[in-house]
A and B are shown apart, each in its own frame.
Chain A
Amino acid sequence: MKRRDFLKNTGLASSLFLVPSFVKAFEKIATEQLGFKRLVIIQLSGGNDGLNTVIPFRNDIYYKKRQGIAIPKNKIISLTDDLGFHESLLPLKRLYDQGYVSIINNVGYPNPDRSHFRSTDIWHTATDSDKYATSGWLGRYLDQYGQHPYNGIEVDDSLSLALKGEINNGIATKNAALLFNTAREPYFKKILANPQDAHLSEHNLGYLYKTLIAAESSAKYIYETSKTFKSKQEYPQNPFAKQLKTTAEFINSGLDTKVFYTSLGGFDTHANQPNKQKQLLKVYAEGIESFVKDLKKNETFKDTLILTFSEFGRRVQQNAANGTDHGTANNVFIIGEHLKQKGIYNSVPNLLKLDANGDLIYEIDFRQIYATVLDNWLGVDAKAILFEKSFKKLDFI
């Protein structure tokens, strides 16, 4: 290779990457196999305080234990006689009023772990809290039903455990053009243009080549498909809304992606919680409202289910710094057009019956939600994906 070629190659030159034809041959299969229902997962990262999100405003214990941070009754957007939204969730209330929101209270798992890492791990892998898995629940879904990395997209720059399977992985990108540019490095193209050894397939080297080919192919597919659609919906100006806008463009352009994953960070509110959470929930709710409008306009909302969770809730008793410490059970939001049970799905947490740490005792295992989504929404065998365990399904879809 000549010097000038090399210099060109290390930058982002503009020749198109040619996907080997045998890879292309697979690209049409996925749609038929996977159906057209999509799942969008949003993690409120850091542990959102669920009690100040969906507020039990008739409960004296709530006010007693949270004298510095409880939301005053006059600021609460009431949903039922005893539950109300945080004021920042007004946009979500509008969706709620249209019957698009189902709130599942008190979701958790046995022997809860209060570490961000570990609890996120548990939610991502869907294991029991004393077991470890190296694959995520959506990754295992991709193992069985996915063909390509782009069947599962994390709208971010690196891939979460949730989207890593035993065999297949999703792909992460929040900017399809950027990923495409990274992948179409002419040097990679040259490497792949030469024939591959068939005998390498079992060797780690074969795996590296195979992954590179899949990455190139997915990056190109995502870029070329998604660029055909530009969202006309107005979104708030913040990184989370931008991620949602990208997700909407991916969906509305007809990308053959079943699962989208994204997160909103900043919920670890150990101190001065009220202002922080107020801002965060506003970012969340405004983003979601624009997202839903965008999907509705393009008639894709009916086939999209949005699930919002946080790795844990926070302690009932506030701390001395007007914040809350890591807790356990929390609420999960399900957003979609044709929900079976709209509004509040189940009763509110019991603030009298707490565990030894003063945390909520969960009522619904999060894997019941996963099982329901897998079976009733994605139409696959949940048991095979949830370590051969049966979880009692819920009735929200």
Chain B
Amino acid sequence: MKAKHIQHLFWRAGFGITPAALEIHSKKNRKKIVAEFFENSKKSTPLTVDTSELISTFLNMDKTDKLAKQKLAEANRQKQFELNSAWLLRLTNSKEILREKMTLFWANHFVCQDNNTIYIEQFNNTLRKHALGNLNDFVKAISKETAMIRYLNTKQNRKLKPNENFARELLELFTLGTGNYTETDIKEAASAFTGYNHNLKGAFHFNKKQHDFKSKTFLGETGNFNGDAIIDIILKQKDCATFICKKIYQNFVNDTPNSEHVNQMAELFYPKYDIGELMQFVFNSDWFYEDNNIGCLIKSPVELMIGMYNVVPFEFHDSKSPYYIQKLLNQVLLRPPNVAGWKGGKTWIDSNTILIRLKLPSVLLNNAIIALEEKGEFEDSYQKYYANVSKRKKAIKTTVDWNTFDKNFKKISISEMKDFLLVSPLNTGTRDLLHQLTMDNKQEVCVQLMSLPEYQLC
């Protein structure tokens, strides 16, 4: 397989590839390399932080004690911060990298947020478990997740007082997309999800008394449907396959969808809804490797950071630093902006984020300084809101593992480096600039190449 294509695949199915790894793969064919991604992601390793103390405090708490509740909220925030760090770390060292990449995608599809760390951790692992599985099982599992039941108010959805929030987003954002259902369909679907609830520990609980057992007419079918039956009917619609395939295409191939390719995907996806099979098809397609699909996507902040890490590993001195960077770049894992998720693409880039993103390599690898401050949290007290800020003025400190970089780039000449670090076509002016510069140090060249607008693309 061509080096350029291997790099492309590794950026889309993971977070890039080192020259050393590239050399190992260069003798294999496409099918084999793609198959290895799936082989490596067969297992699903749950992401966990130690929540034992949190759980016992939570389960034994006097619910009327406001101060205890406050303390719990603070403990939850701390744990969620740990979970955020653990997730980032996972992205740097997991063998199941395709599964992790898909989990990131699904977390921005089945968007959910919960201040309760126990529930959101469980939700996150459900995403991971089904990331390459069957969409039908996946949607049903999501509908019964405690965090989702809380986030989209399914627990407030009762026979006598329906709440349409979950039903609406299920149709609009999770499965069909607007225009493929009516307001009545939403109402009928909502009544099928009445009675969905959870227990304190986070297990699904179906409350029969709140369920509306009436006959429902949904997308043209009539029957005494429950939530699962509604999901079955949704997935019978080919529009659902097309909707999901289009989104996958925009995230993994090109943000301008090609309807012919998307239709090919939907043909394959429907009606089995095997996500793994679909992704295998995408990564094996010739069109996936067409020039216009290479280096055309704007990296998410997380892809940017992890991609850099994979070239030059580094360690933050302060565990808060990665969170601060996520905030400045507008993507804090576990804290999506709303149920529609991050829009991605060009919306990652504004006057402020472009400067920070281009400066990030110098900051992380060369001890340059971003003297900018992120906003405080809504829940912060006045003192904390501003105290944190002044504290953060100190630079982000890292220990950089240049040895690993040197080893990985040992066989690469300085002039070849751009071919390994940049996958997008080069702006001609920039190409000229690179030719003019006398460059004699690989580490410096690495930082320079990463500081180009081109490096923002994958």
Write the nearest CB–CB distance from B238 to chain A, whole angstroms: 26
Query: Which of A177-185, A330-338, A360-368 is the interface stretch?
Result: A177-185
How far, in whole Å, are A157 and B351 apart by their CA atoms in the complex?
Answer: 11
Contact check: which of A1, A173, A276, A320 meets B438 at CB < 8 Å? A1
Q: Is the CB of A208 within 8 A of B66?
A: no
- Residue numbers in B under 8 Å from A1 (CB-CB): 437-439, 444, 448
The size of the chain A interface, using a CB distance under 8 A, is 73
How far, in whole Å, are A283 and B297 apart by their CA atoms in the complex?
Answer: 45
Is residue B350 contacting chain A, with contact meaning CB distance below 8 A?
A: yes
Q: Is the CB of A10 within 8 A of B366?
A: yes
Instruction: Please name the residue on chain A nearest to B361 by beta carbon.
Output: A10
Contact check: which of A121, A280, A323 meets B338 at CB < 8 Å? A121
How far, in whole Å, are A386 and B44 apart by their CA atoms in the complex?
Answer: 45
How far, in whole Å, are A172 and B355 apart by their CA atoms in the complex?
Answer: 11
Q: Is the CB of A157 within 8 A of B372?
A: yes
Write the nearest CB–CB distance from A224 to chain B, whole angstroms: 16
Instruction: Please name the residue on chain B nearest to A139 by beta carbon.
Output: B350
Write the nearest CB–CB distance from A246 to chain B, whole angstroms: 14
How far, in whole Å, are A10 and B368 apart by their CA atoms in the complex?
Answer: 6
The size of the chain B interface, using a CB distance under 8 A, is 77
Is residue B104 contacting chain A, with contact meaning CB distance below 8 A?
A: no
Contact check: which of B353, B377, B457 meets A204 at CB < 8 Å? B457
How far, in whole Å, are A191 and B455 apart by their CA atoms in the complex?
Answer: 13
Do A211 and B351 contact each other (CB < 8 Å), given the known contacts A6-B444, A194-B429?
Answer: yes
Query: Which of B17-25, B280-288, B382-390 is the interface stretch?
Result: B382-390
Query: Which of A84-92, A212-220, A296-304 is the interface stretch?
Result: A212-220
Is residue B425 contacting chain A, with contact meaning CB distance below 8 A?
A: yes
Q: Give B180-195 as 1s and 0s: 1 = Cβ < 8 Å from A's Cβ atoms.
A: 0000000000000000
Query: Which of A262-270, A339-347, A388-396 is the interface stretch?
Result: A262-270
Question: Which A residues from 145 to 189 make CB contacts under 8 A with B?
Answer: 149, 156-159, 161, 164, 169-173, 178-179, 182-183, 185, 187-188
- Residue numbers in B under 8 Å from A215 (CB-CB): 351-352, 354-355
Is residue B427 contacting chain A, with contact meaning CB distance below 8 A?
A: yes
Is residue B228 contacting chain A, with contact meaning CB distance below 8 A?
A: no
How far, in whole Å, are A348 and B89 apart by their CA atoms in the complex?
Answer: 52
Q: Give B397-416 as 1s and 0s: 1 = Cβ < 8 Å from A's Cβ atoms.
A: 00000000000000000000
Question: Which B residues from 428 to 446 make CB contacts under 8 A with A?
Answer: 428-430, 432-433, 437-441, 444
How far, in whole Å, are A383 and B58 apart by their CA atoms in the complex?
Answer: 48
Query: Which of A24-32, A34-42, A195-203 is the interface stretch?
Result: A195-203
Is residue B93 contacting chain A, with contact meaning CB distance below 8 A?
A: no
Q: Is the CB of B350 within 8 A of A271?
A: no
Do A205 and B453 contact each other (CB < 8 Å), given the known contacts A10-B366, A187-B448, A211-B350?
Answer: yes
Q: Which of A3, A164, A265, A276 neighbours the largest number of chain B CB atoms within 10 Å of its CB?
A: A265
Q: Is the CB of B368 within 8 A of A321?
A: no
Is residue A94 contacting chain B, with contact meaning CB distance below 8 A?
A: no
Question: Which B residues from 313 to 363 make CB contacts under 8 A with A?
Answer: 327-328, 330, 335, 337-340, 343, 345-347, 349-356, 358-359, 362
Q: Is the CB of A46 within 8 A of B451?
A: no
Q: Is the CB of A214 within 8 A of B378?
A: no
Q: Is the CB of B340 within 8 A of A182?
A: no
How far, in whole Å, are A300 and B108 apart by their CA atoms in the complex?
Answer: 45
Is residue A190 contacting chain B, with contact meaning CB distance below 8 A?
A: yes
Contact check: which of A3, A188, A271 meets B70 at CB < 8 Å? A271
Q: Is the CB of B330 within 8 A of A194?
A: no
Contact check: which of A3, A11, A279 meets B444 at CB < 8 Å? A3
How far, in whole Å, are A219 and B345 apart by their CA atoms in the complex?
Answer: 24
Q: Is the CB of B296 within 8 A of A204?
A: yes
Instruction: Please name the residue on chain A nearest to B335 by beta carbon.
Output: A117
8 A–B contacts, CB within 8 A, in A order: A11-B368, A158-B375, A171-B351, A194-B427, A265-B376, A266-B383, A271-B66, A320-B64
Taking A45-B376, A118-B338, A207-B346 as known contacts, 12 extra A-B pairs with beta carbons closer than 8 A to each other, sorted by chain A number, are A46-B380, A132-B339, A158-B352, A169-B351, A196-B427, A197-B427, A204-B345, A208-B453, A212-B354, A215-B352, A266-B385, A321-B66
By Cβ-Cβ distance, the 5 closest A-B pairs, closest first, are: A194-B429, A266-B382, A321-B66, A116-B378, A265-B385
